Amino acid sequence: MFHNETRMLISADGTEIYANAVGDPSKQAIVFIHGFAWSYMAFDDIFDDPQWTSRLYLVRYDHRAHGRSGKPVGEEAWESKRLAEDFDAVVKGFKVKKPFVVGWSMGSLHLIDILSFHPIDDLAGIINIAGATHIPETTLSTLATPLTNRCVYQLVGAPTIEEFQEGAIDFINGCCPTLTYEVKQQCLGNIMTSSRKALMCAASRKHNHEVFYEAGKTELACLYIYGDKDELILAREVLGYYKGWRNFRSEEVQGGSHLPWSKTNEKAAVMFNEKVLGWIDGIMGVGKNVDGKM
């Protein structure tokens, strides 16, 4: 039975986590984790698309420091296990079993937090959309464009309001230059209601990067997908970190921005959907992605 449910869930440390689920709970679940300074509205074009909702049970949440979720500061609030516990609160809240997990942009780092505290068999597979792989090795200084580095600094540390405003606007335009005015205003609202201290914690936290390499030795299915017009991340550089992964596939979306699923670029969005849903179908059908490529 199809439903659309939004809930405020509570993570293990008491942080509120705002989450949404759309579709038929009896279908294969897939959990989406958004990137830096956004909220789960980043995935609206996917959650409003019958091509997705008819095939999968879609779940998304505002991770801590973002959107309508809690915005804790301090080292304890940003230990790797806290990010995994946020995920746990969401999957338990919606009674999800063995989901695919999607991390977009900086949200992709949560994949390692989750894998640090879950056995591989708890996940059906992982999808990294235009994101880094793990910290501290894949950092802003090594994989982000100069535009990204400038904007992140302006968002978390700019000394003047003018620099902060400039960074916010340039960051949103860099994510996807064709976003509608209304969506850009939503993004600006997300930035304005976030704590700069909490955003700094999100951008500078640590986790066990060895888990990334250990996961690559298993049969865990992993898809890395990015747009060839991405202005924020050096996506092709990220591919080198996946060398040696056993069950890995990469895909490039021609004309795609940092939001390659955005329907403001219909051609790129169609290609993105075909590639991701096709990969998921392959994993669900045979249980193993044997035709991986880099």
Q: For the chain, what's the residue count?
A: 294
The count of domains in the chain is 1
**Residue 91 counted as domain residue:** yes
Mean pLDDT of 22-42: 97
What is residue 154's predicted lDDT score, i.e. its pLDDT?
Answer: 95
Alpha-carbon separation of residue 155 from 120, 138, 176, 206, 252 (angstroms): 35, 20, 18, 20, 29
| CATH number, domain with residue 191 | 3.40.50.1820
What is residue 113's predicted lDDT score, i.e. its pLDDT?
Answer: 96
Say whether pLDDT at 202 is over 90.
Answer: no
**Residue 294 counted as domain residue:** no
What is residue 279's predicted lDDT score, i.e. its pLDDT?
Answer: 98
**Residue 291 counted as domain residue:** no
**Residue 218 counted as domain residue:** yes
Range of the domain at 150: 3-286
Q: DSSP per residue over 169-214, as a string?
A: HHHHHHH-TT--HHHHHHHHHHHHTS-HHHHHHHHH----THHHHH
Q: pLDDT tens-digit profile of 213-268? A: 999 999 999 999 999 999 999 998 899 999 999 999 999 999 999 999 999 999 99
**Residue 206 counted as domain residue:** yes
Task: Say if CB 123 and CB 112 are below 8 A apart.
Answer: no
Distance CA 279, CA 293 (A): 12
**Residue 162 counted as domain residue:** yes
Say whether pLDDT at 38 is over 80.
Answer: yes
Distance CA 210, CA 112 (A): 9
Q: pLDDT tens-digit profile of 69-118? A: 999 998 899 999 999 999 999 999 999 999 999 999 999 999 999 999 99
